[in-house]
Structure 1
Amino acid sequence: MNDLCGKLVVDVPIKASASQFHEIFHQRPHHISNVSTDKIQGVDLHEGEWGKVGSIICWNYFHDGKNSVAKEIVEAVDEEKNSITFKVIEGDLLEEFKSFKLTIQCVPKEKGSVVHWTLEYEKLHPEIKDSHTFLDIRGDPAELLEIAKTHI
């Protein structure tokens, strides 16, 4: 991997089931802005169906002190592994990155689950900082689970 490519992985334990958490990003990402308004202002379906590979979703979010937009395609879904992958195809992130991909996988544990957030990217040039702060906007998993309880 060259100096322009990076991969960040964050694991977050949660008390909910893996399938509950996966459903939020797979079928109902538009509900995330209901509980994470300081970070995610809105999520709109531009093409396709929620949770289907090839669908295009537009995220309006607050990152590094400014309002931003990312248009993403659902690149992969694995319901058995509670995994979904989004690839950015337009928006503010592509001003600094040649490619930007986020995979969210929730793995069942004896008590609850662990959410694996994996961010893979390629910077346009070496002066671009690594994207550690992007994972901060993912939302608090406890807050996101409130979506599962209140918007079923």
Structure 2
Amino acid sequence: MSSLEGKLETDVEIKAPASKHHEIFKHRPHHVSNHASDFVQGCDLHEGEWGAVDSVICWKYFLDGKPRVAKVLVEAIDDENNTMAYKVLEGDLKEQYKSFRVTTKSIPKGDKESVIRWSLEYEKRHDEIIDPHTLLEFFTGLSKDLEKHLGD
């Protein structure tokens, strides 16, 4: 791994079933903004269908005090392990990173609790770019906001 490549991970405990967290990102990502509007303002399907590998989704989100956009390809869905992987194709992250992947895994912890593991893998365009720690904080906050809705 070169010094420009990196991986960050965080675990977020939520009081909601892992299956519900996985399900909203798989089948209803366009509903995320209804429950976590401080983080996500919208999500549009550009190609394919909701919940399908190779679909292209455009996220509108708020990070570091600014509105941002990320067009992503759904690379993998593993329902058995409540895992989804995305590859960023276009948008703000591509200005600083040659490649950027986001993986979310919803791990059951009892019936009504789970641990959401967010993983970021990236390659920076140059060595003055800082690691995307604020994006991990973003995903932590997003999961916590969704917890209020999914825990019902």
Q: Is the 8 A contact 2:16 2:150 kept in 1?
A: no
Counterpart residue identity of residue 5, structure 2: C
2:85 aligned residue:
85
The correspondence of residues 10-49 of structure 1 with structure 2, limited to 5 A, is 10-49=10-49
Q: How many residues align?
A: 150
2:54 aligned residue:
54
Q: Which ranges in structure 1 are unaligned for 5 or more consecutive residues?
A: none
For 1:35 and 1:14, the matched residues in 2 are separated by: 15
Counterpart residue identity of residue 48, structure 2: G
Q: If the length of structure 1 is used for normalisation, what is the TM-score?
A: 0.92
Q: Is the 8 A contact 1:24 1:144 kept in 2?
A: no
Counterpart residue identity of residue 122, structure 1: E
Q: Deviations over 1:57-90 (max 9, x none)?
A: 0011111121111000000000000000111001
2:115 aligned residue:
114
Deviation at 1:141, TM superposition (A): 2.5
Q: 1:140 to 1:72 in 2, by over 3 A?
A: closer
Q: 1:71 to 1:60 in 2, by over 3 A?
A: same
Q: Which ranges in structure 2 are unaligned for 5 or more consecutive residues?
A: none
Q: Choose the corresponding residue for 1:144, options 125, 146, 149.
A: 146
Counterpart residue identity of residue 124, structure 1: R
For 1:33 and 1:107, the matched residues in 2 are separated by: 23
Q: Is the 8 A contact 1:17 1:108 kept in 2?
A: yes
Q: If the length of structure 2 is used for normalisation, what is the TM-score?
A: 0.92
For 1:137 and 1:79, the matched residues in 2 are separated by: 24
Counterpart residue identity of residue 118, structure 1: S
Q: 1:20 to 1:28 in 2, by over 3 A?
A: same
Aligned-residue sequence identity (percent) comes to 55
- Does the alignment pair 1:130 with 2:127? no
Deviation at 1:18, TM superposition (A): 1.2
Q: Is the 8 A contact 1:21 1:106 kept in 2?
A: yes
Q: Is the 8 A contact 2:15 2:147 kept in 1?
A: no
